[in-house]
Amino acid sequence: MIKFFLKTYGCQANEADSAAISIYLTGLNCKEVYSETEADLIIVNTCAIREKAEEKFFSYLGMLNKKIKVNKPYLKTIVIGCIATYKKDEIYKRFDNVNFVFGAKEDLNNLKVVLSDFIVELESIKNIYHSENSKRDTGFLNLGGFKTAPKELKRSLINIMTGCNNYCSYCIVPFTKGREKSFSAFQILQKIEQDIKAGAKEVTLLGQNVNSYKDPESGTGFFELLESVAKIEGEFWVRFLSPHPKDMTKEVLQVMARYPEKLCAYVHHPLQSGSNKILQAMNRTYTVEQFLEQIDWMKTILPEITITTDIIVAFPGETNQNFEQTMRVIEAVRFDGIFPFIYSARKYTKALSLKDNCSKDEKIKRINELIKKQQDITFEQNSLKMGKVLRVLVEKRMANGRLLARTQGNIRVFLDGDDSLIGSFVHVKVEKTRRSDLLGVLV
Ligand code: 5AD
Ligand code: SF4
């Protein structure tokens, strides 16, 4: 039996692809293992969004070469995802332990075919190796789905679309993943139904720009899809990641308000910058005023909503005043959480040619200031939950002995309880609020 290990970097779309590969390989009688040393096949799913993500991946490959491959000559390594799209040659050249490189733009169905051939080949090599201890070598390698780990909540990660046509000036994704492509609503709904029947309690609809979704067959859009998902029978929650403000409509929020039991009152709404000048340079095609209007819609239509965002600091040309404008928006909106990033220059992007005249110290100062401000806001936002009774979904047992659950807004809640609660919805009363999580008791 071939044992495979999946190492996944980056976004949840990558998690969904990895989950699909896991299902596919399990269907081929392979077994997923959770450490590299146990594996016969290692699949590394890569992320190119920022330079740091790339550096991590390259040092991981180096580690595999030095520590893992030496003890298992027949070990095969496959690299997939965004870095695999645009650094194929470099990966092959630098790492002779890598047997196959398959880019994010390529058709995942081809990956399936290659993968099945590859497993057959690997099986015979493994057998020969173990029977004769001979040393031989050859080389070789699909879609969203359902990931099961022992005693953990079952989640369904569904790629509803892939690629991006937006060309934000800092972003490599349109180049690594290619143009937008929406998947068939019929197939998406079928897959979700299957996953719900198999016990999934949480469905996440994924895409680089989910609200530009368009069913290739009927031409219907995102809010219609969302409504169809909400109509599927069963007890489950639905989230989506990420919308683009340019495509955010009231209809999406109204559908969410109509199905409060299923559609989580949660939106991750990436602002990127609080300065109109920077937003324009980023090619984001909305203004701060339009973004703020959308936040008003959200808070009016869904009063209990949790809102998070992405912010990039020190984009080329960002002055101290521009950064202060971002800080003011952060104070005004009072997001429940933010994902802050320092701008990272990426190959192919338009911003690469822009002059970056912000010192490293200044970049760090800005991001720290932003993090500090948001920590205070998150703490205040969490404090508003004190004493409230919330419906949460229990995820798993933590090392500290407590159960980890999450609210609709993805806020972590710790509670005491039995293992049998894992994967179920319970009500908890919030007894303590902290900076990044809540403590609750079952009611
Ligand atoms: N530099 C820094 N942050 C980036 N992001 C995307 N590209 C870059 C880059 N070149 C951030 C954006 C996006 C999130 C997924 O990653 O904030 O919303
Ligand atoms: Fe990148 Fe912009 Fe597309 Fe998001 S919308 S993936 S930031 S280009």
Where does a domain end: 347, 364, 383? 383
Q: Which atom of ligand 1 is nearest to the CA of 349?
A: 10
142 inside domain: no
Taking the C-alpha atoms of residue 435 and residue 7, their distance in angstroms, rounded to an integer, is 30
139 inside domain: no
Q: According to the model, what pLDDT value does residue 425 have?
A: 98
Indicate which residue's Cα is closest to atom 2 of ligand 2: 168
Where does a domain end: 132, 161, 194? 132
Q: According to the model, what pLDDT value does residue 295 have?
A: 98
Based on the domain organization, do 180 and 103 belong to the same domain? no
For the four alpha carbons of 33, 36, 41 and 43, in that order, the dihedral sign comes to: positive
Q: What b/e sequence results for 380-416 when a residue is b if at least 16 CB atoms lie within 10 Å of its CB, and e otherwise?
A: ebbeebeeeebebbbbebeeeeebbbbbbbbbbbbbe
Taking the C-alpha atoms of residue 225 and residue 237, their distance in angstroms, rounded to an integer, is 15
146 inside domain: no
Based on the domain organization, do 48 and 172 belong to the same domain? no
Centroid of ligand 2 to alpha carbon of 169 (angstroms) = 9
Which numbered ligand comes closest to the C-alpha of 175? 2
* Block mean pLDDT (10 aa), the chain, length 443: 95 93 94 94 96 95 83 87 95 92 87 86 82 42 45 91 96 96 97 96 96 97 98 98 96 98 98 98 98 98 98 98 98 97 96 94 98 97 97 95 97 97 97 95 96
Q: According to the model, what pLDDT value does residue 302 have?
A: 98
DSSP 300-365: HH-TT-EEEEEEEE--TT--HHHHHHHHHHHHHH--SEEEEEE----TT-GGGGS-----HHHHHH
Per DSSP, the three-state class of 21 is helix
Q: CB of 392 within 8 A of CB of 407?
A: yes
Based on the domain organization, do 312 and 260 belong to the same domain? yes
- The C-alpha R_g of the chain, in whole angstroms, comes to 23
Q: CB of 180 within 8 A of CB of 208?
A: yes
| Cβ burial, residue 105 (10 Å; 0-12/13-18/19+) | middle
Based on the domain organization, do 419 and 359 belong to the same domain? no
141 inside domain: no
* Count of structural domains within the chain: 3
Ligand 1 surroundings by CB, under 6 angstroms: 49-50, 170-171, 270, 272, 310, 312, 341, 343-344, 346
Centroid of ligand 2 to alpha carbon of 299 (angstroms) = 25
Based on the domain organization, do 355 and 222 belong to the same domain? yes
User: What element of type H or E holds 159?
Assistant: strand 155-159
Q: CB of 349 within 8 A of CB of 282?
A: no
Based on the domain organization, do 337 and 283 belong to the same domain? yes
Based on the domain organization, do 232 and 345 belong to the same domain? yes
Centroid of ligand 2 to alpha carbon of 231 (angstroms) = 30
Centroid of ligand 1 to alpha carbon of 341 (angstroms) = 7
The DSSP secondary-structure symbol of 67 reads I
Instruction: Name the residue range of residue 88's domain.
Output: 3-132
Indicate which residue's Cα is closest to atom 2 of ligand 1: 343
Q: Which atom of ligand 2 is nearest to the CA of 177?
A: 6
Based on the domain organization, do 36 and 100 belong to the same domain? yes
Q: CB of 183 within 8 A of CB of 160?
A: yes
Taking the C-alpha atoms of residue 1 and residue 417, their distance in angstroms, rounded to an integer, is 38
Amino acid letter for position 299: K
Based on the domain organization, do 255 and 395 belong to the same domain? no
Centroid of ligand 2 to alpha carbon of 385 (angstroms) = 33
68 inside domain: yes
143 inside domain: no
Query: Ligand 1 test: best mutation among 166, 312, 318, most atoms within 8 Å of CB?
Result: 312
138 inside domain: no
Q: According to the model, what pLDDT value does residue 152 have?
A: 87
Contacts (Cβ under 8 Å, ≥6 apart) of 202: 153, 154, 155, 156, 236, 237, 238, 239, 393
Compute CA 263 distance to the chain's CA centroid, rounded to the nearest angstrom.
18
User: Tokens 């980890």 appear where?
Assistant: 404
Q: What CATH number corresponds to the domain at position 41? A: 3.40.50.12160
Based on the domain organization, do 393 and 278 belong to the same domain? no
Based on the domain organization, do 401 and 364 belong to the same domain? no
Based on the domain organization, do 349 and 235 belong to the same domain? yes
Q: What CATH number corresponds to the domain at position 401? A: 2.40.50.140
Where does a domain end: 345, 365, 383? 383
Centroid of ligand 2 to alpha carbon of 208 (angstroms) = 6
Q: Which residue in 162, 267, 180 sits closest to 223, CA to CA?
A: 267
Q: According to the model, what pLDDT value does residue 144 have?
A: 54
Amino acid letter for position 296: D
Q: Which atom of ligand 2 is nearest to the CA of 174?
A: 8
Centroid of ligand 1 to alpha carbon of 136 (angstroms) = 43
